């Protein structure tokens, strides 16, 4: 079996390598790809050294069984179709194909069934969406979602290494912003991605559209996404209304029985969830009018929101 990781030297690419190791995987052939700037560096996988190659169209034609992509939307648009046309199954972490009607958008705990018999490009959802739907889906099964209002507080690692570097540079050197529209150090920026004609940001509409597609749900979704000076870990305040009646005990039981959700007696924080693969929930309560559920949701955005989900998709095919 021949496996490749495109964008192997980035934040998510390195996390993919680590998650594959942690989950006990090894492959007869494994290749790492990056841009010309990072090509030639060496990364470790299961104690062996793998030299990173420059990504080219020709390389995508070299008989890969599976390719994990995490190199950005434009790279995926250019190279993923080539690999898929040559027989590879591509698991793409960018937003390039997520809303294509013929491309599965998958969180394995929720809708792995859409992958049965499938070959081609599979889309890995947005980081803030994955942790949200992992928590919401068990409730949707029981009570049927009617309305979701979510406000996110998203770490700078969601922008990759350049986001981390910008935060650190502003703290140490009081440098001017290059990645974000305002200084991120000691600040909150209510914009992730460009603003669209409807007044919402690109990130907000990703959450709206992807949540509906993954859960096959026509519920109302409203999102406000905020970049905060945290390195790893996205936090979300979630307000949910259901079609059916619900109670707090039933909600907590559903959370506890969900395969990738961890319930806290009080609440999780970003610092406490880094490095694990759960969507954490806390501050679970019913609204004053008794009509809605409110909870706090935190997850490691690089793992839960990207690398681990991609590896779980790969594992579905390997089984």
Q: Which residues are catalytic?
A: 127, 234
Query: Which two tokens mark 106?
Result: 């998958």
The two tokens of residue 182 are: 């305002």
| H/E element, 152 | strand 145-154
Buried b (16+ CB within 10 A) or exposed e, 302-318: bbbbbbbbbbbbbebee
SS3 32: strand
Separation between Cα atoms, residue 269 and residue 223, nearest integer Å: 20
Instruction: Give 279: exposed, middle or buried? Use CB within 10 Å, 0-12, 13-18, 19+.
Output: buried
Q: 241 has which bridge partners?
A: 147, 292
Distance of CA 197 to the CA centre of its chain: 25
Helical segments of the chain, H only? 11-22, 73-85, 108-111, 127-143, 161-173, 202-215, 248-257, 270-273, 308-318
- How far apart CA 42 and CA 38 sit, in angstroms, is 9
How far is CA 133 from each of CA 92, 138, 172, 224, 254, rounded to the nearest angstrom?
A: 19, 9, 37, 16, 13
Helices 248-257, 127-143: crossing angle, 10 deg rounding: 120
- Is the CB of residue 304 less than 8 Å from the CB of residue 277? yes
Residue 50's H or E segment, with its range, is strand 48-54
Retrieve residue 255's tokens: 């959370």
């Amino acid at each position: 079996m021949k496996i490749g990781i495109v964008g192997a030297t980035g934040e998510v690419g390195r996390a993919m390598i680590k998650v594959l190791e942690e989950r006990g995987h090894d492959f007869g052939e494994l290749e790492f790809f990056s841009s010309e700037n990072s090509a030639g560096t060496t990364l470790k996988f299961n104690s062996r050294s793998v030299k990173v190659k420059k990504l080219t169209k020709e390389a995508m034609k070299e008989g890969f069984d599976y390719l994990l992509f995490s190199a950005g939307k434009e790279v995926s648009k250019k190279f993923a179709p080539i690999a898929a046309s040559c027989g590879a199954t591509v698991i793409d972490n960018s937003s390039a194909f997520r809303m294509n009607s013929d491309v599965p958008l998958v969180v394995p705990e929720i809708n792995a069934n859409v992958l049965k018999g499938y070959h081609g490009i599979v889309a890995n959802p947005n980081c803030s969406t994955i942790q949200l739907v992992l928590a919401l889906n068990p409730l949707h099964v029981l009570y049927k979602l009617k309305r979701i209002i979510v406000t996110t507080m998203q770490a700078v690692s969601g922008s990759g290494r350049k986001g981390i570097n910008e935060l650190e540079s502003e703290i140490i050197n009081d440098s001017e912003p290059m990645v974000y529209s305002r200084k991120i150090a000691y600040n909150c920026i209510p914009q992730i991605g460009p603003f669209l004609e409807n007044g919402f940001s690109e990130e907000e509409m990703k959450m709206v559209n992807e949540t509906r597609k993954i859960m096959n749900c026509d519920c109302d979704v409203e999102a406000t996404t905020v970049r905060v000076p945290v390195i790893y870990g996205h936090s979300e305040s979630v307000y949910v209304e259901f079609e059916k009646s619900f109670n707090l005990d039933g909600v907590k039981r559903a959370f506890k029985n969900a395969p990738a959700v961890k319930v806290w007696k009080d609440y999780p924080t970003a610092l406490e969830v880094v490095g694990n693969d759960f969507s954490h929930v806390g501050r679970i309560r019913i609204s004053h009018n008794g009509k809605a559920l409110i909870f706090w949701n935190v997850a490691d955005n690089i793992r839960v929101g990207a690398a681990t989900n991609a590896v779980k998709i790969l594992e579905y095919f390997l089984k």
